[in-house]
Amino acid sequence: MPRKPSIAVLPFDNLSGDPSQDYIGDGLTETIIAELAKFPNLSIIARNFTFTFKNKAILVPEVAEKLGARYVLEDSIQIAGDQLQIMAQLIDAGDGRHIWAERYDRKLDNLFQLLDDISRHILEEVRAELTLDPQARTLRAKGRHTETSQRSSRGRPGPDPAFHAVGTLLPGLGRERSVILPPQTWAT
């Protein structure tokens, strides 16, 4: 396995039962792979390899072994009427532990903007989890918890809708300042 974190982004499982909606999950998978591949600190398994596992029931350790990946991002997508639900989870194939998971529930009004927003959020989360040292990850998690607790105690749940800074703890990724993400890029 490579020294830098290696990740296989599996195609999204379409749980809707309608194969005509596969293009949404395929587009998200391709976008996430392409964006993660831009970062030299990560080794990303190519799309043509990961898509061989589309619509196949296979265990994460088997995928990781066959593709030479330490981490696997597996996802699912479900559409009902004008509602979209996406589940993404990053798994350490070495021990089967979930490193990160998130559910996204959105209204399907502007599909391309929606896919960009969700893929950007997944990208930031995965990149942060795989490139931060353990101490920085702990500080990042504590900061989120503290911010949410403080805002909840003032009667406002979750992150401040005005802005959310990400990136100050991402060493080695060419970031010298924080990245400000608009609210539409956050999971609800």
Q: What is the pLDDT along the chain (188 residues), one digit of tens a residue?
A: 447 889 999 999 999 888 988 998 999 999 999 988 888 888 999 999 999 999 888 889 899 999 999 999 999 999 988 899 999 999 999 888 999 999 999 988 888 888 888 888 888 888 788 776 555 555 555 555 444 444 334 444 444 333 333 333 333 333 333 344 444 444 44
Q: What does the alpha-carbon distance between residue 68 and residue 12 come to, in Å, rounded to a whole number?
A: 20
The predicted structure's pLDDT at residue 125: 85
Residue 57 corresponds to which tokens in the numbers above? Answer: 């029931």
Strands 13-14 and 71-80: parallel
The predicted structure's pLDDT at residue 135: 55
Q: What does the alpha-carbon distance between residue 74 and residue 58 come to, in Å, rounded to a whole number?
A: 11
Instruction: Name every residue whose Cβ is closer than 8 Å to that of residue 122 and which is 6 or more positions away in sequence.
Output: 32, 73, 88, 102
The predicted structure's pLDDT at residue 137: 54
Domains of the chain (ranges, CATH numbers): 1-131 (3.40.50.10070), 133-188 (no CATH)
The predicted structure's pLDDT at residue 70: 92
The predicted structure's pLDDT at residue 115: 83
Q: What is the pTM of this model?
A: 0.69
The predicted structure's pLDDT at residue 1: 46
